[in-house]
Every structure is written in structure tokens, then in C-alpha cells.
Amino acid sequence: MFYDDPLEITTKTWVELLTDKEVTRESDFNVLKMVYESKNHELRASEIASRLNLSHHGPVNLQISRFSKRVVAKTGIQPPLSRKGNPRWWHIPFLGYEKRGMYPWIMRPELVMAFEKICG
């Protein structure tokens, strides 16, 4: 299954969110930039954890959840929901799919364009 639920966040809004220090903390920006700079703007949480010298991907998942909750609080958007009706917090900044029991995150195109504007 490919997770590509639409979000009502434009590139312009992503630029505002990425430059708002109350929404995007330095550690959030660094993780997002890591995904942005990866091939096809795609990484798994476990790969991010490894690059950050963390022994498990749990802290990365938690960080993305907290970041996404701040995005929702700032914008008022409705987060994508699972079949059980729970928010899929990772799905705010990312699209994704399952591959052999793993879930690669792919940066949303509008967020990619926001990084292009910010990072040149």
C-alpha cells in the first residue's frame, strides 16, 4: 500500500513552518534535511537513527510525531488517519509505503520544494 493522502499544506506554508523556530526545531530541521538530501528524498526511520548514532528508530519516530503535532497546531490541518482512525503523524511530512516489513518515508513534494527555496 502506498500512503499518499493529500495535505492542505502548500510549499509557501512549508517554508513558513520550516523557518518558524517554534514549529521546526533545529533537530527537526536536521532530520528533515537528511531525508531531503537522500536519494529520491527517501529514508527509513532506522536509517536516520543509524546516521544519528541512535541504537533504535523509536526516538526518530517520536521526534517526527512531535514535529507533526506542532505543524497541525500551527496550521489547523487534519492529519491523515489510519484505518483505525488514529493520526498517522509521520504522514504529515512524508509519503510512504511498506517494503518487506519496513516503511520508507518519502518527503512530500511541497516540502521538497520548500527545502529547495530555503537551501538553494
Can you give the length of the chain in residues? 120
Q: What is the pLDDT along the chain (120 residues), one digit of tens a residue?
A: 899 999 999 999 999 999 999 999 999 999 999 999 999 999 999 999 999 999 999 999 999 999 999 999 999 999 999 999 999 999 999 999 988 888 899 999 999 999 999 997
37/42 Cα distance (integer angstroms): 9
Sheet holding 94-97, edge to edge: 2-3, 94-97, 105-107, 42-43
The pLDDT of residue 100 is 86
The pLDDT of residue 84 is 95
The pLDDT of residue 101 is 83
Three-state DSSP at 103 gives coil
Q: Spell out a b/e string for 27-38, using b for 16 or more CB atoms within 10 Å of the CB, else e.
A: ebbebbeebbeb
The pLDDT of residue 102 is 83
The pLDDT of residue 103 is 86
